[in-house]
């Protein structure tokens, strides 16, 4: 992604879905992943909201990349992202109030989602508008897919339902006939819908992703620490203090 | 007494990391060593308290009377980002010792969802009524910060043990860290109802 080799535009779109999945491969956006994967409906809603913000902010930031001075680019990116988050927040409040209630504080917190600022910093600030648009769509789909996979496990095993409350989303298209499958399990494991279940399912899903990646000969996901941190540039000089870099240095010494 | 209940709730039952999933990035990234975990958490407590102190009057005196609540997200994130930069510059100039200890963590905190989270949750919780609201917000912010510290320190201990364990290849690294976090989080589930039990 950072390397300067010409890649076909379709690759920008597809890389985010599996090969560079933002959640399972780049380990970005962990907070919303854990918090909103309680039910598939929430996961889809969160995924769509974050994708909208990601695509819009990627396009605008990419279009402005030659205008924004590099010293103030992070605040500039934050303003662009925050504006789109506010717009999405208003749209969700107006059209899908049930989702607004379910996502609560995590909806405005899209503004500090590492995926969005990370993509602005790593991709949109350096690439053309078309490539940034496709990158945004691909990363957004990848985020949604990872969320839905986790939410499916947590919802089916944790509350014994699937797609419960989906009618609040499909009502946008004027269809409310389907309200989800209920009573799949007679005794669901409620712990999976609580916080510990979130961490556990995320760990297991990531282990599975590592296993699949290994079969294809790809390195396993590591928390990139500084490399994945959107603020890496502003603290670059002091990166030696980051715990992960420190360890490397200690080993080198 | 109500303040104490808010404080305990923020530290134990509504722990930011372990039950609200806010601030997971530093939790996974900076918890490998005890000293960095403590440094990061102290910086988080500091920034949380400061952001709450600054955004509370902005919200109550400007945004709410003018019906501009919809601008909360954008105003708060900008104020927090500018504030952290300002604090960094001031510390560097006037209190170099403190800057040495906390400075490196400050830029990382701007985009930390725990800080914006605590500011937004204060409003969601309805701590918006004059001076009482201000005190409640501050107590909640400091409590959330202490909860962050507790979780980070506990987890740094768990992680140091985890490093020397023999675990299956595919679970090494992040997956085992997350599963360990699940167990730590499970232990915090035990606090459910404690605050209500004490303060009724």
Domain boundaries, chain B: 19-190
Of A237 and A118, the one with more pLDDT: A118
Q: Higher pLDDT residue, A171 or B54?
A: B54
CB contact under 8 A, B111 and A199: no
Chain A residues 142-201 with a CB less than 8 Å from chain B: 191, 194-200
Return the domain boundaries, chain A: 9-173+182-222, 223-253
Residue A1 pLDDT > 50 = no
A46 Cα to chain B: minimum distance (Å): 15
Q: What is d(CA B103, CA B89) in angstroms, rounded to the nearest whole number?
A: 9
Query: Cβ–Cβ of B21/A112 closer than 8 Å?
Result: no
Chain B residues near residue A236 by CB distance under 8 angstroms: none
Closest partner residue to B104 (CB to CB) among A196, A238, A244 is A238
- Whether residue B89 lies within 8 A of chain A, CB to CB, comes out as no
- A253 by Cβ neighbours in 10 Å (0-12 / 13-18 / 19+) ranks as exposed
A8-12, A98-102, B100-104: least confidently modelled range: B100-104
The per-residue pLDDT for A238 is: 38
CB-CB: which of A104, A220, A241 is closest to B104? Answer: A241
Question: Band of the pLDDT at A6, cuts 50, 70, 90?
Answer: low
Task: Tell me what the mean pLDDT of segment A145-153 comes to.
Answer: 93
Report the pLDDT value the prediction gives residue A160, as an integer from 0 to 100. 86
Calculate how close chain B gets to A92, using CA atoms only, in Å. Answer: 13
Residues B152, B37 contacting (CB under 8 angstroms): yes
Question: Is 80 exceeded by the pLDDT of residue A174?
Answer: no
Instruction: Check A220 against B170: CB less than 8 A apart.
Output: yes
Q: Which residues of chain B have pLDDT under 50?
A: none
pLDDT higher than 80, residue A176? no
Q: Please report the ipTM that was assigned to this predicted complex.
A: 0.87
Residue with the larger pLDDT of the pair A166 and B185: B185
What is the mean pLDDT of the segment spanning A94-111? 89
Length of chain A: 253
Total CB pairs under 8 A between chain A and B: 161
- Averaged pLDDT score across all residues of chain A: 81
Residue B149: closest CA among B49, B80, B3: B49
Helices B34-57 + B113-124 axis angle, to 10? 40
Note the pTM of the prediction, 2 decimals: 0.85
pLDDT score, position A228: 47
| Closest-CA distance of chain A to residue B29, Å | 5
What distance in Å separates residue B78's CA from the closest CA in chain A? 7
pLDDT value at position B100? 79
Mean pLDDT of A133-143: 92
Report chain A residues whose CB lies below 8 A from the CB of B171.
203, 207
Question: What average pLDDT does range A40-49 have in this prediction?
Answer: 93
CB-based burial label for B126 (10 Å; 0-12, 13-18, 19+) = exposed
Per CB-CB distance under 8 Å, the chain B contacts of A112 are 77, 111-113, 116
Separation in Å, CA of A178 to nearest CA in chain B: 31
Residue-wise pLDDT for A197-252, tens only, equals: 999 999 999 999 888 888 887 666 655 544 445 444 444 333 434 444 444 444 44
Compare A170 and B142 and report the one with higher pLDDT: B142
Q: What is the pLDDT of residue A44?
A: 93
């Amino acid at each position: 992604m950072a390397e300067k080799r010409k890649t076909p535009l379709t690759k920008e779109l597809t890389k985010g879905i599996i090969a560079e999945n933002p959640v399972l491969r780049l380990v970005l956006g962990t907070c919303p992943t854990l918090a909103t994967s309680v039910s598939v409906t929430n996961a889809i809603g969160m995924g769509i909201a974050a994708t909208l913000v990601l695509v819009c902010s990627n396009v605008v930031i990419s279009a402005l990349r030659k205008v924004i001075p590099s010293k103030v680019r992070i605040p500039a990116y934050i303003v662009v992202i925050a504006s789109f988050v506010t717009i999405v927040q208003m749209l969700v409040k107006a059209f899908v109030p049930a989702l607004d209630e379910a996502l609560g504080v995590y909806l405005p917190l899209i503004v500090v989602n590492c995926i969005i600022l990370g993509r602005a910093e790593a991709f949109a600030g350096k690439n053309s508008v078309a490539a940034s648009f496709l990158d945004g769509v691909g990363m957004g789909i990848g985020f949604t897919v990872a969320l839905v996979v986790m939410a499916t496990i947590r919802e089916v095993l944790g509350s014994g339902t699937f797609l419960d409350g989906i009618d609040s989303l499909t009502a946008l298209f004027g269809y409310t006939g389907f309200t989800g499958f209920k009573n799949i399990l007679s005794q669901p494991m409620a712990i999976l819908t609580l916080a510990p279940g979130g961490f556990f399912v995320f760990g297991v899903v990531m282990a599975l992703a590592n296993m699949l990646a290994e079969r294809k000969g790809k390195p396993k996901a590591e928390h990139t620490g500084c490399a994945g941190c959107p603020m890496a540039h502003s603290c670059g000089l002091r990166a030696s203090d980051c715990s992960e870099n420190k360890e490397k240095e200690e080993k080198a010494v | 007494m109500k303040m104490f209940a808010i404080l305990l709730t923020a530290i134990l039952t509504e722990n930011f990391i372990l039950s609200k999933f806010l601030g997971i990035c530093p939790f996974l990234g900076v918890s490998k060593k005890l000293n960095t975990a403590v440094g990061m958490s102290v910086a988080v407590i500091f920034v949380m308290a400061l952001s709450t102190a600054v955004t509370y009057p902005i919200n109550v005196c400007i945004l709410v009377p003018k019906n501009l609540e919809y601008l909360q997200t954008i105003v708060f994130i900008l104020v927090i980002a500018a504030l952290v930069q300002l604090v960094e510059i001031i510390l560097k100039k006037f209190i170099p010792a403190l800057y040495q200890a906390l400075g490196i963590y400050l830029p990382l905190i701007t985009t930390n969802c725990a800080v914006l989270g605590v500011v937004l949750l204060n409003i969601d919780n309805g701590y918006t009524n004059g001076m009482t609201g201000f005190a409640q917000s501050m107590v909640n912010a400091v409590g959330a910060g202490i909860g962050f510290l507790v979780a980070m320190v506990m987890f740094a201990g768990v992680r140091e043990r985890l490093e020397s364990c023999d675990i299956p290849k595919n679970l090494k690294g992040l997956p085992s860290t997350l599963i360990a976090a699940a167990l730590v989080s499970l232990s915090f589930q035990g606090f459910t109802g404690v605050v209500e039990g004490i303060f009724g």
